[in-house]
A and B are shown apart, each in its own frame.
Chain A
Amino acid sequence: MTEKKKEEKVYRQLESNKLLQQIMFQYMLEGHQASEENRLAWVTSGFPVEIPVAMGVGVSYPEQYGAVVGSQKVGPEVCGYAEEIGYSQELCSYARASIGSVEKPDQSPMDGLPTPQALLAGNNICGTVLRWYDAVSEQTGAPVFLFDTPPITDGQPDHHKEYVRNGLDRLVDFLGTTFNTTLTDERMHEVADLSSKALELWNKSLTACKTSPTPLNCADRFLAMAPVVSMRGTELIIDFYETLLDEVEMRVKEGLGAIRDEKIRLLWDNIPPWHSIFRFFNGLAKRGVAFPADTYTHAWSGKLKIEGEGDDLFDSVVSIYSNVYLNKGLEAKIDKMCELIDDYNLDGFVMFSVRSCKRYSLGQLVSKEIVSERTGVPGVVIEGDMVDSRVYNEAQIQTRVDALLEMFM
């Protein structure tokens, strides 16, 4: 593609994406190496990954793999492999993609994820992960460790903290026994420092999107969040987030937006439709619609180490990983949306009702009304799926988004 044609695009590609690709490639190689060395765990996105990382356990993320399956537009095929062995099409498509790829790795992108020796599930993002990992355990023989963080509504009472803390102690024992490894304070502090630093850099990039025009659009953030989800606590990603932040700050300084002609600023709620991510967001970019904030990529914001606060990292892990906002109920989610709309000066919002994700999506019809009432901005709910494009009706979605945009004309 010529430079001229690049310039004509309505969105600006990030230079740091090159580094992102390298890091993600390296991450994939490390996963394979860990698997070959019998020290690989599959991990859910809300799991306190700093602990396995500090204990030398390699990690791979089936949810990220689901995103890959979706973005390569093979969701129906790979999910179909799970359906062939009896898993209902009504189940989570991340789960089906993962189960399907284990069933037929040679017919799945990247030959599937490397084989795990353990499965680490945290239910602070949803209850589905437990059943999903149980199913993968049946397929692979890898044992499941469940890190239970019961939902909280009015603060975290002491007995809840103690219970979650016990779960962490059991996790260390489980990893020690399964992988013949130990956890040292020194290593845990190193990993926590790196995790906190990456999150700090990431949050600075997110916060920079308060400016108009926004330096990052939704698709940019969904791609750039990958390392902070999967490699928190490693040295490798610091360089990337520094480079990203430099680029973001340069854009802010020079008044360069992620899209060329920002007219409308919207909030995105939920996982994106991976199979149509560029088509959807860039299609709207052509009409001057930018998404400076979303509820999903802001979820990775809890730093384990905060200056001036206690030195007990496990207490910090208990608090951070219990207070994931999906674990705090609908009111917390509504508050978060209102806060983002206010802070990022947004004109409206789009809620993607994802059939796969009941924890994220059930309640959107109610929260839409309340968020509009509180903020005075309009919103729309569109329905589909993040991986399985069979249940994504583009024309219907287009009509609904058009109806929202008409309100701004």
Chain B
Amino acid sequence: MSYEGVLEQSGLGLQELVKAGEEIIGYIYPHAPLELILAHGLTPSLMRAIPGVSSGFEESLQTFACSYIRNLYNQRTNDQLPQITGLLFPSNTCDSLQNLTDIWKIRFPDDRIYRLTYPVTRYADDDSTRIYLTKELEILSKMIESTLNRPFMMDNYERAVSIIREFRHDAQFLYSARVVDPEVLSYTELSRLVRSFLTAPLVSVASEIHRVSSLVKEKMKSKGLLNIINSIMSGFQEKDFSKVKPFKRSPGPRILAVGGMVEPQAIATIINGINGVSDSIIVSDLLSFGFKSVFAPPLDKNGEPFEEMAKSILAAPGEPTQEGLQYRMRSLKDLVKALHIDGLLICEQSFCDPDQFEAPSIEKVASEAGIRTVRIPIDPELSDRARIEVKIQTFLESAGYT
């Protein structure tokens, strides 16, 4: 299925939910408290940047606003956003999203806007970040309750914790299994499954992922690879790859896609569009809407809900708001070595501070590890798709991967 087809399908799924009377809270930043929204009887849905949207930002945003927020804003001005009850913006994560929220509130005063402010602290030895975020989550919860008359229901919360735990466990397993055997499940399919869940975290979607995960598990078990996969999963979870069990590298190039708020499916589509190349070359990604969402730790159902949600969000891997550059790069260095990575696709959105500041450090790490890199300037419109495909193809050829 094409990228556009996948987008259309997930959009239709959301429309059906709305028709069935579900109220949707759209969110933009990957680390939204899904359990909190579900606990209020609402459905959280990740708003995605999509190709083919007419322009509409010019009266409100300059061209140096990042391509991601321009796309979201274009969708709003062209009435192309899904039918949502409210929209949750992040605060204190990056300047573009910070200011976009203010602009949105002024331009669309009838939209119901919520804001969650995240702390940005490096390795604080006290509980201040957890306490702060816990309080912010409580405030958000009260705000949702007061504006939508939807109280936080404990049974909803418990169901949400279970379903998200199950999703994460299964998706983490699939991510880890693909590292050992990228052919066992296409990157496109894994991305689609994760995306489906982030678009609508329903039991039916989680069940589909569980079914796929079980099938993959059976296959891996028959090959005697389960122990290795579990060791990789633990490595991802604990951000420590020293205990990853040795494994035989898969044939063909082993590429890791790195970057921030880039759609994994867009990467998969680009790769599959290259003549003679399949997405099995992508053994994993470290993208916000892929790996970083999947590997956020699940919640302890017995803990205090808001505190548990805060702990999970703060422990999500690879986020520059919580982990210093040095830490992330050290981790990347260990990862590429332990997982037999041959090359990195460094995805950068234009005018994206987090992506563009990190890219040179990633290149340095790759160089020290003796692996190749290619920087991919990408925007949600995939406006430069042909050139990107050529660039990746050239990269693969020059590195002797094809």
Q: How far is the CB of A112 from chain B (nearest CB, A)?
A: 18
**B95: Cβ under 8 A from any A Cβ:** yes
Interface pick from A231-239, A272-280, A354-362: A354-362
Q: How far is the CA of A92 from the CA of B95 in the complex (A)?
A: 12
Name B118-145 residues within 8 Å CB distance of A: 118-122, 124-126, 128-129, 131-132, 135-136, 139
Knowing A87-B357, A144-B324 touch, does A127 contact B131 (C-beta < 8 A)? no
Check if A330 sits within 8 Å of B360, measured CB to CB: no
B64 touching A144, Cβ below 8 Å: no
Report yes or no: B360 in contact with A159, Cβ–Cβ below 8 A. Answer: no
Min CB distance, B354 to chain A, in Å? 7
Partner among A88, A159, A366, A370 whose Cβ is within 8 Å of the Cβ of B132: A159
Interface positions, chain A 310-336, Cβ under 8 Å from B, are 329-331
Q: How many residues of A contact B (CB 8 A)?
A: 48
Bound-state Cα–Cα, A358 to B59, Å: 16
* Contact pick for A88, options B122, B139, B359, CB 8 Å: B359
Instruction: Determine if B91 is an interface residue (Cβ-Cβ < 8 Å).
Output: yes
Query: What is the distance, in angstroms, from A163's C-beta to the closest C-beta of chain B?
Result: 4
Interface residue B320 (Cβ < 8 Å from any Cβ of A): yes
Please, which residue of chain B has its CB at the minimum distance from the CB of A354? B64
| A159 CA / B310 CA spacing, docked (Å) | 14
Count contacts between A and B, CB distance < 8 Å: 146
Are B353 and A159 neighbours in the complex by a CB distance under 8 Å? Answer: no
Assess whether A126 is in contact with B357, with CB atoms less than 8 Å apart: no
Are the C-beta atoms of B320 and A130 separated by less than 8 Å? Answer: yes
Contact partners of B94 in chain A: CB under 8 A: 127
**Which B residues are in CB contact (< 8 Å) with A243?**
none
Query: Once the chains are docked, how many angstroms separate the CA of A137 from the CA of B328?
Result: 13
Q: What residues on A are CB-neighbors of B162 within 8 Å?
A: none
B150 to chain A, nearest CB (A): 22
Establish whether residues B62 and A383, one from each chain, have CB atoms under 8 Å apart when the complex forms: yes
CB-nearest residue of chain A relative to B121? A148
Closest partner residue, chain B, to A86 (CB atom): B360
A355 vs B95: C-alpha distance in the bound complex, in angstroms? 12
Complex CA–CA separation, A132 to B354 (angstroms): 10
Interface residue A166 (Cβ < 8 Å from any Cβ of B): yes
Cβ–Cβ contact B119 & A362, under 8 A: no
When the two chains form their complex, are residues B102 and A331 in contact, meaning their CB atoms are under 8 A apart? yes
Q: Which residues of A contact B320 (CB under 8 A)?
A: 130-131, 134
- Cβ of A150 and Cβ of B128 under 8 Å apart? no
A130 contacts across to B, CB distance below 8 A: 120, 320
A203 to chain B, nearest CB (A): 27
Given A151-B92, A358-B95, A362-B95, A170:B357 Cβ within 8 A: no
> B95 and A90: CB pair below 8 A?
no
Q: Given A150-B92, A159-B135, A166-B126, check contact A90 B102 (CB 8 Å).
A: no
Does B43 have its Cβ within 8 Å of any Cβ on chain A? no
B102 A131 Cβ-Cβ under 8 A: no
B102 touches A330 (CB 8 A): yes
- Beta-carbon contact of B99 and A330 below 8 Å: yes
Q: Is the CB of A364 within 8 A of B92?
A: no
A128 interface hit (Cβ, 8 Å): yes
Q: Does A163 contact B132, Cβ atoms closer than 8 Å? A: yes
Contact B121 A146 (CB under 8 A): yes
Nearest A residue to B69 via CB reads A362
Cβ A151 vs Cβ B91 within 8 A: yes
Flag whether B18 is at the interface (Cβ < 8 A).
no
Contacts of B131 in A (CB 8 A): 159, 162-163
Q: Give the distance in Å from the alpha carbon of A370 to the alpha carbon of B59 in the complex.
A: 13
B374 to chain A, nearest CB (A): 13
**Which residues does chain A contribute within 8 Å of B6, judged by CB atoms?**
none
Q: Is B10 an interface residue (CB 8 A)?
A: no
Q: Which of B247-265 contact A (CB under 8 A)?
A: none
Q: Which of B139, B351, B357 contacts A131 (CB 8 A)?
A: B357
Q: Does A363 contact B (CB under 8 A)?
A: yes
User: B65 in the interface, Cβ–Cβ < 8 Å?
Assistant: yes
Which of A128, A146, A159, A166 makes the CB contact (< 8 A) with B122? A146
**A91 pairs with B356, CB closer than 8 A:** yes
CB of B96 within 8 Å of the partner chain: yes
Complex Cα spacing A331 to B105, Å? 10
**Interface residue? A98 (CB, 8 A):** no
Check if B103 sits within 8 Å of A330, measured CB to CB.
yes
Contacts of A151 in B (CB 8 A): 91-92, 98, 117
A394 at the interface (CB under 8 A from B): no
Q: Say yes or no: is A167 at the interface (Cβ < 8 Å to chain B).
A: yes
A36–B164 Cα distance when bound, in Å, is 54
User: B99 and A359: CB pair below 8 A?
Assistant: yes
| B124 x A362 contact (CB < 8 A) | no
Q: Report the minimum CB–CB distance from A134 to chain B (whole Å).
A: 4
* Interface residue A353 (Cβ < 8 Å from any Cβ of B): yes
Contacts of B118 in A (CB 8 A): 150
Q: Please tell me if A74 contacts chain B, counting CB pairs below 8 Å.
A: no
Nearest-neighbour CB distance to chain A for B365, whole angstroms, equals 10
If A130-B120, A150-B92 are given as contacts, then 11 extra A-B residue pairs at C-beta distance below 8 Å, sorted by A number, are: A87-B357, A90-B350, A91-B356, A92-B353, A128-B353, A138-B326, A150-B91, A153-B115, A358-B64, A359-B95, A365-B61
Q: List 11 A-B contacts (CB under 8 A).
A: A86-B363, A88-B356, A127-B95, A127-B353, A128-B95, A131-B354, A138-B326, A148-B92, A157-B139, A365-B60, A366-B103
Which 8 pairs across A and B sit closest by C-beta, in order of nearness? Answer: A86-B360, A330-B102, A131-B357, A134-B325, A362-B99, A166-B128, A159-B135, A358-B95
